[in-house]
Chains A and B, each alone.
Chain A
Amino acid sequence: EAGVTQFPSHSVIEKGQTVTLRCDPISGHDNLYWYRRVMGKEIKFLLHFVKESKQDESGMPNNRFLAERTGGTYSTLKVQPAELEDSGVYFCASSQDMWKIRGPTNTEAFFGQGTRLTVV
């Protein structure tokens, strides 16, 4: 079974440019999460999709960040325009949603390798 895949693995862009990160979750996983780790800091939650709907976007830093998950499959995270402080590693994770079947159930989140974004 394929894991969570992220593209690109690295991206170096200039300040003011636009970058789009992509995440392909594990097939059948309704939950998709974006996280970010700025150098030296903890991994921080950005947002959570359930299928194509944004369940929680409380971690999005500002309106320069736009996440989409059209059709409930892959997701994109666009940064426009990029600033120096956006540099970091962006992780995507996915998990099954067993809520409908079993009620509250704790499921494991599987992570991608991350995209290292450097804004210069």
Chain B
Amino acid sequence: DAGVTQSPTHLIKTRGQHVTLRCSPISGHKSVSWYQQVLGQGPQFIFQYYEKEERGRGNFPDRFSARQFPNYSSELNVNALLLGDSALYLCASSLYVGSYGYTFGSGTRLTVV
């Protein structure tokens, strides 16, 4: 079985641009969450989606948005990129919100220049 798949793996963007990151959960998993991991720090929660509905949002500005599709895949969008948005963006999936054992993907490394 494939794990959590994220694309692209690496991305370089210029300040002010927009970026879309994609995530495909493990087959059968209906919940997807997004985390930002700045170099040298632990991951920080951005969003949680379950059955296409937002179930939680972390302390991130409105420039960050996400959605979940009927096939349970998800997109994270970031507008008006700042240098400080440079990080590893991780997607995690689980069977449902509240189930134990989140499985993380390998992430998308975003560099803003």
Q: Do A and B come from one complex?
A: no
